[in-house]
Structure 1
Amino acid sequence: MNEKVNRRVTLAAQPVGAPKDSDFQMIEGSVPVPGDGEILLRTIYLSLDPYMRGRISAARSYAASVEIGQTMVGATVSSVVASNHSKFEPGQLVLGYSGWQDYEVSTGKGLTRLDPNTGPVSTALGVMGMPGLTAYVGLLDIGQPKTGETVVVSSAAGAVGSVAGQIARLKGCRTVGVAGTAEKCRYTVQEFGFEQCLNYNDSNFVERLKDACPGGIDIYFENVGGKVFDAACALMNTAGRIPVCGMISRYNDTALPKGPDTLPRLMRAILTRRLLVCGFIITDHGHRL
């Protein structure tokens, strides 16, 4: 990073459909100076997460939208460059929410000090941070896995899905992942230990999911929505659980998806099979980190 310039990315326009370059603006300015009781942070790692798409939309959501001209939000691992704060010293590493910028002045509120001796500090933005907690809460609190059950995880190669699948395995469950490329599926099996991983872009995906779950699905960890959700719901067992973490495939929609209305079929399945379908927002559980 340039030590003399603070680069920050701001929201220039609320995207319509998929975000494009012109929806954002890069602004270069001077590095801010901390005042009394403040510290200067330099961003080392920035986490780009799917929830950000909702934060740049005008639609009602669980958190306020980023305003036009405002710096984009995002969790960060930062180094303390200068400190006028009694609890922070230069050189310390912290987990914070500085967003898409090189530097930020902070009062220290909401920061968590990190110890690089306990492991890579980047894990504070992954398995040991918000994505890891998301997988933990969704699978254990809502999914409540039992030994021998079949767990299907969408977006299984992602930060949340990969952890959810590994927790399921530790609980003695069969784990079937779903991802969008053959390479992601290979990685999911070889690196994350899923028993199988299916490519939802394969023409025979629905049939392959049935073959992978001959006894049905007990827990479907939902990250994407769309045809994966429809295929999984059709295989849910009685008293199955569906933790709803995200609907990535629908985040850029500007209209209802084409095709038949699958809601009546879903509602019938929820009723007749006594399914638990539960959405959750991880910021409600932030105190557990």
Structure 2
Amino acid sequence: MSETRGRLGRHDLAEAARAAFGARELVSAERLRGGSKKGVYRLTLDDRTTGVAYVWNADEDYWPDAASPDHSDPFGHSTGIGLFEAAHAALSGAGVRVPRIFLLDRSKTLLAGDVAVVEDVRGGTLETLGDRPRVLARLGDTVRSLHRTRRAHYGRPGADKPGLPVQDVVLRRALDHLAQAAARVREIAAVEHRLASVLRERHAAVEPRAEYGLIHGELGPDHALVDEHDQPVLIDIEGAMFFDVEWEHVFLELRFGENYRYFHAASLDDRRMRFYRLAMYLSLVAGPLRLLDGDFPHWEAMLDIVDQNVVRTLGQLG
């Protein structure tokens, strides 16, 4: 597994830093851990000012055979400066705190790839800070504000191409993930037909819907930074889309555990929640296994996600 593929240094990022911050000298560029689709680098200038550079190019994307982003597919490979810019505008418009943008550059003259330079929020993530009731309460308010932003069709911000009913999109994707998981996980293979039947039964119970909320798409405690005023700041936003808010809530309850109480909404559709739980768990088995077909370096964390979600998937048959 490669630890250095795509790693840029101070000289590689100097032009981007100059374009974002002016004549100050870039003294260091530290690649931050995490991120499988883009490179994330902390830039430190000679006056101790810092920023964060997002770099999108083939070397920074660890997903095997990753396709170009398709704005018409809500579950398409969610990466790229275009998705970032559209998501940033949509979330900001919904009153959600996201890092301020200092530079967006598609010219590929500053470095090999597209680059954004944004505010460096240094308070840490909720994952590293632990139980912070004040911040969690504010994050709950942020999520509710996000989900109240609605439109009549699902999909990426700025994309207007309605397709299959949203629950049909989820079913098709979940059955594909089930087949991928069954091909690689013995415990899933043993109950593949039962799981397919449960997916279809839960899908059939979902009634059509004509309005969709704006969701982050992957909002866990690792994607919520905390600023100096204890305000949550959302990052890794390229997966934002208009969708059934229940999809987000399934991920929130999975990632926040007991702290999900800060996010729960009485208006959620229980039938959608049951269907989306199983679909989500299958995606968190198949997705990390696919990532590990490449040379993503943090394979232990991915295998842990797989193991946890195999258990969750099998638990849906109980």
Task: Quickly name the TM-score band, shorter chain normalised.
Answer: under 0.3
TM-score where L is the length of structure 2: 0.24
Greater relative CO, 1 or 2 (CA 8 Å, sep 6+): 2
Higher CA-based Rg: 1
Q: Greater helix share, 1 or 2?
A: 2
TM-score where L is the length of structure 1: 0.26
Q: Greater strand share, 1 or 2?
A: 1
